[in-house]
Amino acid sequence: MKISVITAVYNSEATVGEAIASVAAQTHPDVEHLVVEGKSKDGSLAAIERAGHDRMRLISEPDKGIYDALNKGVRNATGDVIGFIHSDDFLAHDGVLARIAVAFDDPAVEAVFSDLDYVAQADTSRVIRHWSTGAFHPRRLKYGWMPAHPTLYLRREVYERLGDYDINFGIAADYDFILRYFSKATGKTVYIPEVLYKMRVGGVSNRNLAKIRQKMEEDMLAIRRNRVGGLHTLAFKNLSKVGQFLVRPQRS
* Residues 3 and 100 sit within 8 Å (Cβ to Cβ): yes
pLDDT level of residue 249 (50, 70, 90 thresholds):
very low
**Entry pTM:** 0.93
pLDDT digits (tens, 9 = 90+) for 116-135: 999 999 899 999 999 999 99
3-state percent helix, strand, coil for the chain, nearest multiple of 5: 40, 25, 40
What are the angstrom distances between the C-alpha of 109 and each of 113, 157, 222, 239? 11, 12, 25, 30
Could you read off the pLDDT of 1-22 as tens digits, one per residue?
A: 999 999 999 999 999 999 999 9
- Please determine, for residue 78, whether its predicted confidence score (pLDDT) is greater than 90: yes
Strand partners, 109: 188
The whole-angstrom separation of Cα 173 and Cα 66 is: 10
Q: What is the dihedral of CA 86, 210, 181, 74, to 10 degrees?
A: -40
Does residue 247 have a pLDDT over 70?
no
Domains and CATH numbers, the chain: 3-251 (3.90.550.10)
The amino acid present at 235, given as its one-letter code, is A
Q: What is the mean pLDDT of the chain?
A: 94
